[in-house]
Amino acid sequence: MDQLLDEKIKNSYHALIFQCTKSLPVGDLPMIDKAFNFAAHILGNSVWNEGEFILNHSIAVAKIAVLELGLSTDSLISALLHNVFGSNGIEFSNEDIKSRFGVNVAVILDGMIKINSLNTGNLAFQSENFRRLLLALSGDVKVILIKIADQLQDMRTLNSQPAVIRERLSIDTWHLYAPLAHRLGLYKVNTELLDLALKFIHPSDYESIVEKLKETAVERASFVSAFVLPIEKKLKSRGFNFEMKARTKSIYSIWNKMQKQKVDFHEVFDLFAIRIILNSEPENEKANCWQAFSVVTEEYLSNPDRLRDWITYPKSNGYESLHTTVLGPGKRWVEVQIRTHRMDDIAENGLAAHWRYKGGKGGDEIDKWLKNVREILENPQLNPVDFIDDFKVNIYEDEIFVFTPKGDLLKLRAGATLLDFAYEIHSKIGDKCVGGKVNGKLVTLKYVLKNGDQITVETSNNQKPKLDWLDFVVTSKAKTRIKASLNEDHKKEAENGKEILRRKFKNWKIELNDSVIRDILKHYKLKLAVDLYFNISAGKIDTLEIKEQVIGKLEESQQDKLAEMLPAQEVKELSFDNSDDYLVIDNNLKDVNYKLAVCCNPIFGDEIFGFVTIFEGIKIHRRTCPNAKQMVERYPYRIIKAKWRNTGKRNSFQATIHISGSDRSGIVTDISRIISKEVGIQMRSIAINSEDKAFDGTMRVFVNDLEHLDFLIQKLKNIKGVLSVTRSDA
């Protein structure tokens, strides 16, 4: 050991070796010493900005990895070395680490390097980093565990950090590392991480709960003593070897319940749980737990709705326990957890504890979880934002167990539907699913499954995934497959729309080129041609409207030629009168047709003017038309004054309305009802897009006049959720 090392570092390392001697083989100590000396040679007495020795931090992480997470020598060595890379500008190759410390250490450190190279700040907006992080983690579960140990040590020493670092580390812990610990069954670590994060994110709430727990400590101890005494007597009288613990609910759990239920501290009734831990042989574990359960329910009335059997069907992270809620003294509900010492070890230390119980199911469960993570991550269609949302939901929810027609047991998220089940069986079955039977009764795709359901799926070759399916499926596998299928359908629909447009342009004898497509996209405010083609095929964009828009563009491009064909003097000498009795045009011009311009869609009541065109006589524009300024400046001699004449007849004019607001179920129905029933207006088309709980839409309607349009706009503004209604030019 380097004699120049600070005594604090030496003492910390000696304490680590002393404490880990019982957990690790004696023969591994030389390799551990080698790793420490290697780290000490590079790091020496280097400190973090706040003054902590870097090497002491590494030693503390190694201690957590071995003593609290139950990891082995390779993990301890990796923890000692994880701060070495990049220090003092020194770089090491993967092969160098392999030759010094073995393949396992090299793999773990490679994963740690990838993680530490990522910026996980503001996870809600850095979801792609989160995705890449999990890719790195999913290679070896020990990488996750050591990184969690590293984060836990950071949080335990967070008081010494500047405020900006405390905030960033606390948010990372809250959104990423605590959920990972929970998913791996590290409930004790998860609890501590969330408590520490709460301490720095909501300090006043944290301190308030701590004080109230201190104030009620004596009262709780008295209640626990009265509750436990009769159960202890009965268990001992029946020969059980056991211990009992009273576990107070974590500060974060209390805070979370207060937030969700909108209650005060004193209204949180289940502040603690009683845990019965049995000494039991492996072959007798289940039987002993159920026998202890019968003793508890003999003494106290149980709530059957709150029974949780994770002994018969363990959670995917290996958690096993029997939970029940009983009515204790003073008619107070108390949760009782019954498990064996092996189960308790796994519950406290998660997947790491499985390595201490050879032949168990732990390894299989780890592999299943990692396989599921990889399947999600490797899907090229996956949207990172969707992934982070799905992952956050999946890790916190409990599971249900259902049966296939053959009697095989499947594990799904609580809240899973028949359609989720179909996708769990096979992607193609999910795509074709039309319904099914649950326990012999016909059900729909939306049926929410319950524990013990026996399910048969019915399919049809005519069925295909629909957008609204995403509203009720809950599993990541189902969501990912539906999105992929919808994207494929979108492409096929777009190909059909492209062919429709090509044929139309051929019939119109107009050239369809890239310039024309760009103009059309700009007109409809679309970014991609594929979206234009899809909307044409789906009937959301009328090809006749496209024709009008394209001809209008061609007309504008021919305006210079028109100036040559119709000199100013000739225009002045033209004389005509309109054929319709409600439109008046100055100079009494005769035998010239007029049309309403599609660029601004004038309506009776608008201030208007006429403009002489090449192909279509006079075009009537609104004075506020986007093209008005250019026409007046370039061709003032072709402008003709125009005004409406009120004949008392009901006429029909097209208007375009833009509407936006907060998305909610049924808002499109409300909009349609206003237009069709309350106002009596004919709707030509409607297109609504929804994203991030907001909607944005465009409608084309026929109205009698400007007053009629204003009346409609006011009606639409009164709809719940509508924030803006405006008239558009196009």
pLDDT digit string, tens, across residues 172-188: 888 778 887 887 778 88
How many angstroms separate the CA atoms of 469 and 382, rounded?
17
Would you say residue 15 has pLDDT above 60? yes
Adjacency order of strands within the sheet including 653-662? 682-691, 694-703, 653-662, 722-728
pLDDT top residue among 231 and 527: 231
**Highest mean pLDDT: which range of 430-444, 473-487, 547-561, 662-676:** 430-444
The pLDDT, as a whole number, for residue 363 is: 46
Q: What pLDDT shows up at residue 614? A: 65
Query: What is the model's pLDDT at position 296?
Result: 94
Could you give the CA distance from residue 703 to residue 654 in angstroms, rounded to a whole number?
6
Which one is predicted more confidently, 194 or 24?
194
Does position 566 have pLDDT exceeding 50, yes or no?
A: no
The DSSP code sequence of 343-365 is HHHHHHHGGGGGGGSTTSSHHHH
User: What topology does CATH give the domain 397-474?
Assistant: Ubiquitin-like (UB roll) (3.10.20)
CATH 3.10.20.30 domain extents, the chain: 397-474
Terminal Cα distance for the chain, rounded = 80
Q: Is residue 46 within 8 Å of 54, Cβ to Cβ? A: yes
Tokens for 724, please give them.
């803006």
Residues of the chain with CATH 1.10.3210.10: 7-195
Per-residue pLDDT band for 350 (boundaries 50, 70, 90) equals low
Architecture of domain 653-728: 2-Layer Sandwich (3.30)
> What DSSP element (H or E) covers 624?
none
Of 41, 39, 44, whose CA–CA distance to 61 is shortest?
Answer: 39
pTM over 0.85: no
What's residue 243's pLDDT?
A: 93
Q: According to CATH, where is 3.30.460.10 located in the chain?
A: 211-357
- Mean pLDDT (whole number) for 439-468: 90
Mean pLDDT of 310-331: 85
Residue type, 5: L
**Percentage of residues of the chain with pLDDT beyond 70:** 80
Task: Give the pLDDT mean for 424-448.
Answer: 92
Fold of 7-195: Hypothetical protein af1432 (1.10.3210)
- Determine the Cα–Cα distance for residues 259 and 313; give it in Å rounded to an integer: 31
pLDDT tops 80 at residue 579: no
- Residue 119 reports pLDDT greater than 60: no
Inter-residue contact 338 to 276 (CB < 8 Å): yes
- Residues 594, 620 contacting (CB under 8 angstroms): yes
694, 696, 702, 706 alpha-carbon torsion, rounded to 10°: 90
Q: Would the CA dihedral through 665, 669, 672, 678 be positive or negative? A: negative
Q: For the chain, state the CA radius of gyration.
A: 36
Q: What is the largest CA-CA distance in the chain?
A: 119
Percent of the chain surpassing pLDDT 90:
22
Measured over the CA atoms of residue 19, residue 25, residue 28 and residue 29, the dihedral's sign is positive
Superfamily of domain 211-357, CATH level 4: Beta Polymerase, domain 2 (3.30.460.10)
For residues 46 and 417, the model is more confident at 417
Structure confidence at residue 562 (pLDDT): 43
Section 455-464 average pLDDT: 93
